[in-house]
Structure 1
Amino acid sequence: MEENNYCSYVRWVPGSDVVVAQNQNSLCVWYNIDTPEQATMLPIKGDIVDLERGNGKTEVIVTEGVNTMSYTLDEGLIEFGTAIDDGDYYRAVEFLETLEMSEEAEAMWGTLSRLALEAKQLRIAERCFAALGNVAKVQFLHETNKIADQAAQEFGGDGTDFYQVRARLAMLEKNYKLAEMIFLEQNAVEEAMEMYQQLHKWEECIAVAEAKNHPALEKLRQDYYEWLLQTQQEERAAEVQESQGDLQAAVGLYLKAGLPAKAARLVMGREELLTNTSLVNRIASALIQGELFEQAGELFEKIRNPQRALECYCKDNSFLKAVELARSVFPTEVVKLEEAWGDHLVQQKQLDAAINHYIEARCAVKAIEAAIGARQWKKAIYILDSQDRKVAARYYPKIAQHYAALQDYQVKPSPSLAALGPAACLVDSWVLSPADSGGAVRQGRLYQGCC
C-alpha cells in the first residue's frame, strides 16, 4: 500500500488481515492485503471515527456533519482473510464459492492457490485453478492427485511425499532441475528423460542420457535433429551437426538458415573444407548476395584469390584490410586505395582522419582542404609548406583569416608564403585585397595572400 498524504485514517479490522482507510472523500477497504492495488472504494461525505466488529458484522462509523453513518463491510471477504490466517483453507474455499467472480475474488483465488500449493493441499489448489479458469494446471493437478492417492494406498500418509508427486510439484513451479534431481535420486532416469521430451527440452534430455550412459542416447540425438529440421530451426541443427563433427552438413544447414557468415567461419577454420571448391563458391556467392563483402573478402584471401578479396574489401569500404592486402600483393594500388579511403572518411564527416590518408596518397590539395575543414590549421600550414606558390596562394588567405579572428598576429610566414613576394602583403591597417575588393583584413601583423 503506497503512502498517501491525504490518508486521514487507517486501521486493521480486528482478527483479520483487512485494512480500512480514508483518502479524502473515499472509504478504502483492502480485503486482500497481498494485492494492494485492488481496493474497494466507497464515497463518503464525512470522516471515519471508529471501526466496530461484533455479532457477525463489521461496520465503519462515519460522522457526516451532525449525523453519524455506518458502512457495513463484506463479512464473507473478511472471513476469508481470517480463514487464511488460521490455515483453514477449506473454509476459505467455502467463502470464495459464495462470491461472484470479480477482480478482488480472482486475486483471492490466486492467493489461496499459492498458499495451498505451499501447504501441499493439492485438491484445494486444483479447485482454485478451476475457479481461475487455468485448465492446464487443473488437468496437471488432477493427475498429480491421482498419483498421490495411489501412493497413499500403497505406502500410507497422504501421498504428497511420493517422489513422483514431489517432482510434479517442482515441474508446476517450472523448477525442472529440481524435478530431475528428484527423479534421479530414485534412479528414474526414463521419467526424467520423458519429462524433458514432453517439454521439448531435448538438450537437457540428452544430457541426462549421456550422464547415465543410456542405450537410447544415439536415437535421442537423431530424434532431436529431426525435430529441429521439422520446426525449421536450421541454425540450431547446424550447431548440433558441428558439435558432432559433421562439418559439411553443418555448413549446408547454415546456408539454408540464411547464415553464410557462420558457414564461412566454419570453413575458414578447416583446411579440408577450403579445398572443396564447390562448397566455398556456394558460401562466397551467399556472402556477396547478402552484401557481406568483408567476410567474402576474408574467404577469398583464405583460398588465395587476392584479386577477388580486394574487390570485396573495396565494396565494403574495408580500406584497412584492402590496404594491408595491397601492400603485400598489389603495391601499385596502395596510393589509389589511400585516396579512396580518404574520400570515404570525408563522406563520413571524418575530415581529421582523412588527412593522413590523403598525404599517403600524395593528394596534397585534398589533404589541405580536409585539414582546413577539420580546423587543423597547423597541419594545413605544414602541408602547404611543401607546395608551390599557386597552391599556397589559394589557401593561405583562409588560414590568415582564422588567426586574425583569434587576434593572433604573430604567425610567421612559411617559406612558401615568403616566396610569393609582392603577393604577400604585411598590413598594419585595414586594407583591401586586390584579388577580392570585397574582402577586408583586420588591422595587425597578418600575411594576406593576394594573387
Structure 2
Amino acid sequence: VAQNRGNLCVWYNIDSPERVTMFPLKGDIVDLERANGKTEVIVTEGVNTVSYTLDEGLIEFGTAIDDGDYYRATAFLETLEMCAETEAMWKTLSKLSLEARQLHIAERCFAALGDVSKIRFLNETNKIADSIAKEYGGDGTENYKVKARLAMLDKNFKLAEMYYMEQNAIDEVMEMYQELHMWDDCIAVAEAKGHPELDNLRRSYFAWLMETNQNEKAGEVKESEGDYVGAVNLYLKAGLPAKAAWLAMSRDDLLASSDIINRIATALIKGEFYERAGDLFERIRNNQRALECYRTGNAFRKAVELARLAFPSEVVKLEEVWGDYLVQQKQMDAAINHYIESGCSSKAVEAAIGARQWKKALHIVELQEDRSLDMSYLKIAQHYASIQEFESVKQPFFPMYVF
C-alpha cells in the first residue's frame, strides 16, 4: 500500500508492478489494519478518519501463493471477475504451477488467460502424465516424456533433446524437431546416430524449403551436399548474386563455366554490386570488364591496382577520377595526393585549400611554373594575412602582391 499526491495505490501482486489499483483520496494514510477477515487502510481527512476496505480475495491469493497452496489460489481466482489484477495473478499462478509441475492447475490458468495453444499442449501432456501414472504408478510428471514436453514449453529444446537422448528415444527427438521445423537439428541428430532415414530426411527438408520459398537455405543445403551448380542457381533465385559470386570464385569448376559466370555477373550488375562483379571478372582474367565494373562502382583502389598491372596508361586518368570522386564526397584531404599522382596541380591546390591544408597548398604552388596558379597564390596569401602570419607571404613566394 502506498500513496501519491491524490491517490491510494494498492499492489495486490508484487510480481506485476504495472498492475496497480488506485482510489482517489484527500487525506493521508496513517495505518493499515487487519481484523475479522478484513483489511482496511486508515486515512485522516482533516479532523475525520476514513477507512478503505481492500479486496480480501486478492489478498488471500497472495497468502495462498506464499503457502504454496496453488489449489486454494486457483479457487480464490475462480471467484473473481477478470480484470487487470486477476489477469496478472493468473499469469503468476501459471508460472509457479509449471515450476512445481502441477500441470492441471497450469492448464486451468492458461484457459483463464485464453492461451489456446498452451491449453492444448498441456492437455496432451497431462494425458501422457496421467496415463504413465496409471500404468506404472508414481508421479507421471517425472517421466522423461513429460519433462521433455515441459522443456519444449519453455523453448529449451536442447534440454528436451537431452531428456529424450538419455532414454535413447532417437525417433522422438527427430519427431520433435520435425514438428518444430527445426530440420538442421533433426538432421544433426540423425547423422550423429546413423539413422537409416537420413537420406529421406534430407529430401524432405529440401522439399519443405522449396515449398516455403526459402531459396537461400535450400542453396546452403545444396552447397553442403557438393551440388555447387544447384546452389548457385538457388542463390540467384533468392536474389543473392554476391553469395553466388563468392561460391563461384572459390570453385575452379564453376569459373570454367561461361554460362554460370555470365548469369552471376549479369545479376551482380543488375543489382549494382559492381565491385563484386569486378572481382568476378578479374578472377576469370577479363581485366577490361573488371576495370569497367570497378570504375562504375567507385572501387578506385582496386581499379588502380588492376590498371598498374594490365593497363598502365590508364593509371593517371584513374587517379584524377578518383580525386574527383573524393572531392564529391567532401574528402578533400584524401583527394590531394591522387591529384598530385595524376599531375593535376590546379585541382590538387584547390583540394588542399578546400581542406584548409594551407602549407601543403603553398608547397604545391611553389613547385609549379604554371601562371594559372596565381589566383591560388592570392587565396593562400589572404589566409596568412588574415591570421597575421606576414612572414609566410613575403618574397619570392608572392611576387605579384604587396602587403
TM-score using structure 2 length: 0.96
Specify the alignment match of 2:16 in structure 1.
Answer: 35
How far, CA to CA, are the matches of 1:293 and 1:40 in structure 2? 62
Where do residues 235-254 of structure 1 align in structure 2 (5 Å cutoff)?
235-254=216-235
RMSD: 1.6
How far, CA to CA, are the matches of 2:149 and 2:205 in structure 1? 24
How far, CA to CA, are the matches of 1:389 and 1:254 in structure 2? 56
Q: Check conservation: 1:389, 1:416, Cα contact below 8 A.
A: no
Specify the alignment match of 1:335 in structure 2.
Answer: 316
Specify the alignment match of 1:409 in structure 2.
Answer: 390
How far, CA to CA, are the matches of 1:141 and 1:116 in structure 2? 12
Where do residues 238-277 of structure 1 align in structure 2 (5 Å cutoff)?
238-277=219-258
Specify the alignment match of 1:145 in structure 2.
Answer: 126
Cα offset for 1:58?
1.9
Cα offset for 1:61?
2.3
Q: Check conservation: 1:84, 1:92, Cα contact below 8 A.
A: yes
- Matched to 2:233, the amino acid is G
Matched position secondary structure for 1:160:
helix
Confirm whether residue 134 of structure 1 aligns to residue 115 of structure 2.
yes
Structure whose residues are more often helix by fraction: 2
In structure 2, the CA distance between the partners of 1:63 and 1:396, relative to structure 1 (3 Å rule), is: closer
Cα offset for 1:47?
2.6
Cα offset for 1:339?
1.1
- Matched to 1:73, the amino acid is L
Confirm whether residue 112 of structure 1 aligns to residue 89 of structure 2.
no
How far, CA to CA, are the matches of 1:114 and 1:31 in structure 2? 17
Q: Check conservation: 1:389, 1:417, Cα contact below 8 A.
A: no
Flag structure 1 segments of 5+ consecutive residues without an equivalent.
1-19, 419-423, 428-445, 447-451
Structure 1 runs of 4+ with >3 Å offset: 412-418
Cα offset for 1:333?
1.0
Specify the alignment match of 2:198 in structure 1.
Answer: 217
Confirm whether residue 280 of structure 1 aligns to residue 261 of structure 2.
yes
- CA offset digits 1:255-300 (Å, max 9, x no partner): 0001111111111111111010111000111111111111111111
How far, CA to CA, are the matches of 2:303 and 2:290 in structure 1? 8
- CA offset digits 1:309-331 (Å, max 9, x no partner): 11111111111111111111111
How many residue pairs align between the two structures?
Answer: 403
Q: Check conservation: 2:177, 2:186, Cα contact below 8 A.
A: yes
TM-score using structure 1 length: 0.86
- Matched to 2:115, the amino acid is N
Residue 191 (structure 1) aligned to one of 161, 168, 172? 172
In structure 2, the CA distance between the partners of 1:389 and 1:51, relative to structure 1 (3 Å rule), is: closer
Q: Check conservation: 2:3, 2:29, Cα contact below 8 A.
A: yes
In structure 2, the CA distance between the partners of 1:401 and 1:160, relative to structure 1 (3 Å rule), is: same
The structure number with the bigger radius of gyration is 1
Matched position secondary structure for 1:59:
strand
How far, CA to CA, are the matches of 2:345 and 2:396 in structure 1? 17
- Matched to 2:324, the amino acid is D
- CA offset digits 1:40-78 (Å, max 9, x no partner): 111223233332222222222223333332222111111
Residue 74 (structure 1) aligned to one of 35, 55, 58? 55
Q: Check conservation: 2:26, 2:45, Cα contact below 8 A.
A: yes
- Matched to 1:388, the amino acid is E
Specify the alignment match of 2:378 in structure 1.
Answer: 397
How far, CA to CA, are the matches of 2:99 and 2:370 in structure 1? 91
Q: Check conservation: 1:114, 1:125, Cα contact below 8 A.
A: yes
Confirm whether residue 201 of structure 1 aligns to residue 182 of structure 2.
yes
How far, CA to CA, are the matches of 1:105 and 1:213 in structure 2? 51
Stretch moving more, 293-302 or 386-395: 386-395
Q: Check conservation: 2:381, 2:393, Cα contact below 8 A.
A: no
How far, CA to CA, are the matches of 2:3 and 2:379 in structure 1? 76
How far, CA to CA, are the matches of 1:212 and 1:259 in structure 2? 34
Matched position secondary structure for 2:391:
coil
Matched position secondary structure for 1:52:
strand
Matched position secondary structure for 2:112:
helix
Confirm whether residue 167 of structure 1 aligns to residue 173 of structure 2.
no
Cα offset for 1:394?
2.9
Residue 89 (structure 1) aligned to one of 70, 73, 90? 70
Specify the alignment match of 2:346 in structure 1.
Answer: 365
Cα offset for 1:416?
6.9
Specify the alignment match of 1:16 in structure 2.
Answer: none
Specify the alignment match of 2:157 in structure 1.
Answer: 176
In structure 2, the CA distance between the partners of 1:356 and 1:63, relative to structure 1 (3 Å rule), is: closer
In structure 2, the CA distance between the partners of 1:47 and 1:417, relative to structure 1 (3 Å rule), is: closer
- CA offset digits 1:362-391 (Å, max 9, x no partner): 112222222222222222222222323623
In structure 2, the CA distance between the partners of 1:344 and 1:47, relative to structure 1 (3 Å rule), is: closer
Q: Check conservation: 1:388, 1:416, Cα contact below 8 A.
A: no
In structure 2, the CA distance between the partners of 1:337 and 1:136, relative to structure 1 (3 Å rule), is: same
Residue 298 (structure 2) aligned to one of 317, 320, 344? 317
Matched position secondary structure for 2:140:
coil
How far, CA to CA, are the matches of 1:36 and 1:81 in structure 2? 14
Confirm whether residue 375 of structure 1 aligns to residue 352 of structure 2.
no
Residue 384 (structure 1) aligned to one of 316, 340, 365? 365
Flag structure 2 segments of 5+ consecutive residues without an equivalent.
none
Matched position secondary structure for 1:99:
coil
How far, CA to CA, are the matches of 1:28 and 1:118 in structure 2? 30
